[in-house]
Amino acid sequence: MQAHKTLLRHLLLARSDWMEARVMEGARRNGYGEVTTAMNRLFAQLRGRPVGLSELARALSVSRQAVHQLANEAARLGLVEFVASENDGRVKLLRFTQKGWAMSESAARAFAAIETELAQQIGAQDLAELKRILGKAWSADEPG
C-alpha cells in the first residue's frame, strides 16, 4: 500500500528531511561538524532570543532533561550559554554565544543557498507559491 506516500504529513516530513540533510552537510563543510541534527533543531527554536529549557522541551516534544543534556553539549562546544532570566533568577535561559551567532549566520546562508537550489529545480514561481501557501494560517487560532 503506497497511499501514505501521498499524505501531506509524509510529504512535508520528507521535504524537511531533505532540507535538514543539506543544512547538516553545509554545517560540516563550514566547520560545525560536531553539531548534531538534534542540536540543529534546538537552535531553530532559539529564534534569536533567550529561551527557557521548559519552553524548548515543549517545542521539541522531548523531556526537559533531554533538552538540558543537549544544551550542555552545545554549551561545551561554545555555541550557547545559560543565563538567568531577568524576570525570575531561578529560571535558566539558553542563548547563542558569539560563536553560536556566527554558526547561525552560516546556517542562514546555507538555507538561502538551498532555496536557490530548490528554485532552480522546481522553478522560482513554484517556490514562491510554496512559501506563500506554507505561510498561511492553517487554523483560526494561528497568525498567518
Full-model pTM: 0.83
Give, for 51, the enclosing helix (H) or strand (E): strand 51-52
Check pLDDT > 60 for residue 1.
Answer: no
Best CA proximity match to 35, nearest among 65, 81, 79: 79
Tell me the per-residue pLDDT of 42-68, one tens digit each, with 9 for 90 and over. 999 998 899 999 999 999 999 999 999
Give, for 84, the enclosing helix (H) or strand (E): strand 80-84
Whole-number pLDDT of residue 128 = 97
Domain boundaries, the chain: 10-134
- Give the DSSP letter of residue 81: E
Best CA proximity match to 63, nearest among 54, 72, 71, 75: 54
Tell me the per-residue pLDDT of 119-134, one tens digit each, with 9 for 90 and over. 999 999 999 999 999 9
- Give the DSSP letter of residue 3: G
Tell me the per-residue pLDDT of 85-119, one tens digit each, with 9 for 90 and over. 888 878 889 999 999 999 999 999 999 999 999 99
- The CATH number of 10-134, from 1.10.3720.10, 3.40.50.300, 1.10.10.10, 3.30.420.310, is 1.10.10.10
- CA–CA dist 53, 45 (Å, integer): 11
Tell me the per-residue pLDDT of 78-93, one tens digit each, with 9 for 90 and over. 999 999 988 887 888 9
Check pLDDT > 80 for residue 4.
Answer: no
**φ, ψ of residue 137 in degrees (nearest 5):** -70, 135
- CA–CA dist 34, 39 (Å, integer): 9
Best CA proximity match to 15, nearest among 118, 138, 125: 118
Check pLDDT > 90 for residue 6.
Answer: no
What is the CA angle 42-46-47, rounded to 5? 125
